[in-house]
Amino acid sequence: KERVFSGIQPTGTLHLGNYFGAVSKWVQLQNENKEVVFSIVDMHSITLPYNTKDLEKNVYLMAASLIACGIDPQKSTLFLQSQVPEHTQLSWVLGCLTTMPRLGQLPQFKEKSSILKDVPLGLYLYPVLQAADILLYKATKVPVGEDQIQHLQLAHSLARTFNKRFGETFPVPEVLIQKDCSSRIRNLRDPMKKMSKSHPDARGRIEITDEPDVIVEKVKKAVTDCKSEVTYDPENRPGVSTLLTMHSLICGLLPEEICEENMLLDTGRYKSIVAEALVEKFTPIRQEILKLIDSPEYLSKVLQEGQQRANLIALDTWQEVASKIGTIPNN
């Protein structure tokens, strides 16, 4: 049976990398009537220092943002990871099936731990919990951005190891990564890097809640290069190509077609066209977020219903796992 699963951390606000790389694909899959399960992964967000008050606020903000982007709680199961305890239970079992060198070599761990004096164990176990998220729902498809590939490879190998050791249990999940540049939206100030929530320069990312004038300003300040024509060349011109990628995803034309349309413009003037397209696309979404965030009761009801649905699947899998590993499921 086909089932789509993906997750997003409630750290800060959803940005356009998250939107184009993941969330817009989630909405597509949902609307193709696939069975879809999406989690706000708060347990992943506490692996690095954070503020408890912000976490709760950010969970609601993320729920509101996902709904405003088109996740329909009637069609999708949208829930908060920590409310389904089987995630951490399964992650323990999976943790017993991998090794320290395997986790230590993952690029995101290496990058994040390299700047810390004391590395929390949770940061190290992070990808094991992520594998548990996916396997708990026996997901067959996982739509993510490019930065998650290595984590999904770990999930693959854990599924295989478990199946081999304890008998066929988990489908090996297929990674859905778009071939176009949307799977890695660049940082506007530093196009060699990806757009991310954690980059200290906020001008490098456009957040889904940014006001129109902020979007315009960020696009205007986006780093391009010394050439002034508008051409699509992600390899050699990552700056202007990122603008073209986002623009193309909004208007449905190919980046090359947009270049042709704007042949007479320089990148400076093209930027105002992109900014206008982004403002037009995201203004209604921003307004919807503001409306939703004003009704925490509604958001908490959505998460509660999501939790109930997610829990049915999670409990089933957990009981199967418990009996397969030789312990006693409690039912």
Minimum separation from the CB atom of position 155 to ligand TYM (A): 8
Query: Of the candidates 74, 78, 60, which has an alpha carbon nearest to the alpha carbon of residue 23?
Result: 78
Site stretch for ligand TYM (CB under 6 A), options 13-21, 29-37, 241-249, 296-304? 13-21
Active site residue 221: no
Active site residue 194: yes
Site stretch for ligand TYM (CB under 6 A), options 109-117, 142-150, 305-313, 322-330? 142-150
Query: Of the candidates 249, 297, 242, 190, which has an alpha carbon nearest to the alpha carbon of residue 23?
Result: 249
Minimum separation from the CB atom of position 240 to ligand TYM (A): 17
Q: Which H or E run includes 315? A: helix 296-324
**Angle, alpha carbons 245-149-33 (nearest 5°):** 70
Residue 142 touches ligand TYM, criterion: CB under 6 A: yes
Give start and end residues of each alpha helix (H) in 12-120.
Answer: 16-18, 24-31, 42-45, 52-68, 86-95, 100-104, 107-114
Question: Toward ligand TYM, which CB reaches closer, 159 or 262?
Answer: 159
**# residues near ligand TYM by CB under 6 A:** 26
Residue 238 touches ligand TYM, criterion: CB under 6 A: no
Strands (E), the chain: 4-8, 36-40, 76-80, 141-143, 174-176
The two structure tokens encoding residue 115: 């700047």
Q: What binding mask, one character per residue, do residues 37-76 give for ligand TYM by CB under 6 A, x or -?
A: ----x--x--------------------------------
Answer whether 307's CB lies under 8 Å from 79's CB: yes
Residue 159 touches ligand TYM, criterion: CB under 6 A: no
Question: Toward ligand TYM, which CB reaches closer, 69 or 185?
Answer: 185
Answer whether 13's CB lies under 8 Å from 207's CB: yes
Choice from 29, 185, 208, 277 touching ligand TYM (CB under 6 A): 185
Answer whether 207's CB lies under 8 Å from 15's CB: yes
Q: What is the largest CA-CA distance in the chain?
A: 71
Question: Toward ligand TYM, which CB reaches closer, 65 or 262?
Answer: 65
Residues that bind ligand TYM (CB under 6 A): 5-9, 17-18, 21-22, 41, 44, 130, 133-134, 142, 144-145, 147-148, 151, 183-185, 194-196
Q: Which residues are catalytic?
A: 112, 194, 197
